Every structure is written in structure tokens, then in C-alpha cells.
Chains A and B, each alone.
Chain A
Amino acid sequence: MIRLEHVSKSYPTSTRPALDDVTVDIDKGEFVFLVGSSGSGKSTFLRLLLKEEVPTGGRVQVAGKDLTKLSHWKVPALRRSIGCVFQDFRLLPNKTVFQNVAFALEVIGKPRSVVERVVPEVLELVGLEGKTKRMPDELSGGEQQRVAVARAFVNRPMILIADEPTGNLDPSTSIGIMKLLDRINRTGTTVVMATHDAAIVDSMRRRVVELADGKLVRDQTRGVYGYGA
């Protein structure tokens, strides 16, 4: 599903590469934690999967497509097969919960009938069926992140990318979000999640890929956050 072959990425403003000869293979339906300290290259890793960045060396393959060869106008199609969740939720403050989720479908041209059928389904999946008409600022952080997950998943993507989705949430709320991501993973969606949250990684016991200074230092199938834990 996702394959990085000897991928390097340097930014013109930095002497040290953000990613240095990273090779990772992620299968369909896997749940992978991407760990490492700030500046270790986690965000660059995720941006490469969306073709927001182009690697300076190596090959990136997502869903059978070689992103280094993917032409510019096919990038939107790639992004439709990937859902994204962020630490800062990125909801539209002037739209309701329903409208926020519907927005993701409207802008890719889905007809109204599909929107009205699919959005309530996904809001029920994330446990927000009673709050569809609320505005984002009327919700708790955990609820806002649920809206973001609903928006990322409403188009039933093959891959879900989460960049520190629990970074702004307290531990008990974080567990709720992790349960939700786990449920999405069980539907067959590949989940790649970058995180700093050791407790979550340790409790889930899933595959852990660790980056340090842009290098791949660990790839463990049922891993924990740090060594010796």
C-alpha cells in the first residue's frame, strides 16, 4: 500500500537532510505508529505520501502509484484516496459539524443525494449523531477531533494519515480517539499515525517505525514507544 525506497529529502534552507535513505514498506490494512522527537522527519514523511513534497532521492509508492512520476493534475485523485487528521483539527469555524464533513464531499463534486446519505452515517460512526448542527467552537477538543476524523473518513479512503491527532487532547479523550482510529483500521483502512504519546503507543502494541535525525532507526511489528520499555 505504501512503499518508500531509499527516500531522501533535503530542504534548501537546511544543511542536514530531513529524511536520509529511508526504506519502509506498509501493507494494506496495517496500523503503523511513526515516532521520533520533533524534527526527526515525521512530518516530512507524511507530506511525501500526499505529494505535498517531492523527495530529492529515492522512490515513493502509494496505492500502487509511483508518486515521483505522478503528473501534477493527478495529485487530487491521489489525495482523494487518503484521509488526513491533524493536531489542530483544521475545521471551518463558520460551518456546522454537518457542513464541515459535507464540505469534503462537495468540493470533490459529489451529488447532494450522496452527501445527505453518507454524512449522517459517518457522524454516527464517530459518535456525533446528536451534534450535527453545532458549530465547532461549541464542541470540546475531543469532539472537534471526531469531526475531523469524520471528514477524513467520509470519502472511505484507503489510507488514513494522522499527524499527532491526540497532541491537543487529554489522556482519557485521547483513548476515545484511538478507539475510533482502531475501528476505522478494522474496516480495512491503512492507518499511519505520527505521535509523541508513549502511553498510547505502548497500550496499542502495533507496528512502530522510529525516525531519528531523518534516519530510520527502528521498525518493530508489535512495538512500544521507547527502547527497553
Chain B
Amino acid sequence: MRVQFVLSEIGIGLRRNLTMTIAVIVTVAISLALFGSALLIRKQVEAMKDFWYDKVEVSVYLCGDASQTPSCGGQAVTESQRDELQAELRATPQVQEVFYESQEQAYAQFREQFEDSPDLVENVTAEALPESFRVKLRDPTEFEVVASAFNGRPGVEEVQDQKELLEGFFNVLNKMQQIALVIAGIQLVAALLLISNTIRVAAFNRRRETGIMRLVGASNLFIRLPFLLEGVLAATVGAALASGALVALKAVLIDGQLRPNFPVIAYVSWADVLWILPFLFGTGILLAGLSSFVTLQRHLRV
């Protein structure tokens, strides 16, 4: 009797308040979808860090004929300078491996990288590209040690950390995550106010029923439960929609668009997406329950 009674009360309440309920569901869904996206971006950054930090190298570019850097002295690196640099790089404790890349190898890689833009390839010759040492570090964060030791050395044009290029990209992603979180927060506040208002209207609509319930000695919990569950149910539906949106994002945007077009990048896995979904439901249900409870304390005298 109890369960059936509470359920039918919830049904009556939701139907009576249909427009408000839809508004609650939509705001909760948008807010949680953004919250989920923010978590997904964080996961994406982690995935890319794991993937790239393994592969990033420090490039020690050597002077060419046209180098302007003072340490080059206006001439290309000599053979003895090159041998000395290579020996010293090998002797540096932070360095794991050193590869030499000649101008021809650099050119070959360049052509491969830009095979889609033949105009660019045509205008570049092997002589325009610098020869370099590709240095793999034991710990990718120890770039500074290598940079300070080799920058400005005779025959070295520039020491470049590929990680820095990635950091720029990660910064963009982090900014996106922050923006998503801020909007999610604002939406969440709006959702809470809407839930609170919906319940206030519902409590007002049913003041006859609740008045009689109070008089005949129904417990506080029993009087409040239908209202509380209404808010929680709407939030749960919102969380389900947000989960659907995240799954669609992963399936359509990441797996359908990004992965075929940029296959070299690591992407968030389905496990990452599934890991986020319980957070969406938890956040939605907890906040809806809380705001319902606070509203009922204020507007449903028992």
C-alpha cells in the first residue's frame, strides 16, 4: 500500500507540473552533460599525455649554411663539432637515447609529413632543413638540464623541446575544461533553483492533501517523500539524457570523426566514458535531493 501510494502521488505531481518538470529535466541534462564533458576533456588530456610523453624528444638543431644564431658564427656545423656534441649528449645522465638526423632524412620525413600539400614540398630543398640530434630523455620533464647544457654551444642552432608544443595544446584543452566547468556550474545553480521552485509550486498545489495528511498523523517522511522523489526522479532522467549525450559524443565525434581523421592521437576509451557516468547520476541525484529537502523544510510545514 505504502509504495503504491507514494508512487501514484509522484505520478500525479509530475503530471500536474509537466512544463516545470520538463524544464528541470532539460537544465539538469545540459548542466550534467557539460560537467561530463569537462571530465572527459580531463581524461583526454591524461590519455594524450600518457601517449605523447612517451614519444616526445628534444631536438638539438645544428647550424646550417644560412643560420643566423650567434653561436653558429655564420657557418655550418663542422664534423668535429658534431662528433663532440654527440659524444657529450651520450654522456649526459638524463639522456636515454640519441639519434642523428641528417638533412636528407629530415627532408624525407618532411615530404612524407606534407605529402598532401605538394606546393610546399616543391619549394623546400634538403639544404633548407637543419640536421639535428633527436634526444630521448629518461624523464621528459628534465628538458631544462639538457637545454641549458647545449644551448649556445658552437655548432648548435637551437635546442627545442617538443613537449612545449604539446603544452600549448594541453593549455587549450585545459581552458576548454575550465569553461565547461564554469557553464556547468551556472547551469547547475539554475537547475537547483528550478527544482526548488517546482517543489514549492507542487507543495502549494497539494496543500489540501498535505494539510489532511498532517492532521491524521502521517509522518514527516511520508508527507515529504513524494515531493523529494519527484525532484530526484526528474534529476535522474536529466542525468540519463546527459549520459546519452556523452555516449553520443564519444561514438559520433571522437570515434566517428576525430579518430579516422587524426589517427596518430590517443583518445579517451569507453572505459573512461563509463567511469564518468556514475558521477553524473550521483551529482544529479544528490543535488536534487538536497535542494528538494531544503525547499521542503522551508515551505512544507509539518
| Residues of A participating in the B interface, judged by any CB pair closer than 8 Å | 50, 73, 75-84, 90, 92, 103-104, 106-112, 115, 151, 155
Contact = CB atoms under 8 A, between A and B. Distances in A.
**Best-surrounded residue of B1, B217, B220 (most CB of chain A within 10 A):** B217
B217 A90 contact: no
Nearest to B8: A106
Nearest to B5: A106
Given A111-B1, A115-B1, A92 B217 contact: no
A87 to B, nearest CB: 14
B298 interface: no
Contact of B219 (A76, A92, A111): A76
B215 interface: yes
21 contacts: A73-B219, A73-B220, A75-B302, A78-B217, A79-B214, A81-B217, A90-B212, A92-B208, A92-B212, A106-B5, A107-B5, A107-B218, A107-B222, A107-B223, A108-B216, A108-B218, A108-B219, A109-B1, A109-B2, A151-B212, A155-B217
Contacts of A110: 1
B1 A77 contact: no
Interface string B250-261: 000000000000
Contacts of B214: 79
A197 B208 CA distance: 27
B35 to A, nearest CB: 36
B182 interface: no
Given A76-B218, A112-B1, A115-B1, A107 B208 contact: no
Contacts of A77: 217
B217 A109 contact: no
B73 interface: no
A82 B215 CA distance: 9
Nearest to A151: B216
Closest 6 CB pairs of A and B: A80-B217, A79-B217, A107-B218, A104-B216, A76-B217, A107-B213
A107 B6 CA distance: 9
B222 A109 contact: yes
B74 interface: no
Contact of A106 (B1, B208, B223): B1
A107 B211 contact: no
A115 B4 CA distance: 14
Contacts of A82: 217
B209 interface: yes
B1 A92 contact: no
Given A76-B219, A84-B216, A103-B216, 17 more contacts: A73-B219, A75-B217, A76-B217, A79-B214, A80-B216, A83-B216, A84-B215, A90-B211, A90-B215, A92-B208, A103-B212, A107-B213, A107-B222, A109-B222, A110-B1, A111-B1, A155-B217
A155 B212 CA distance: 14
Contacts of A90: 208, 211-212, 215
A106 B225 CA distance: 14
Interface in B273-302: 302
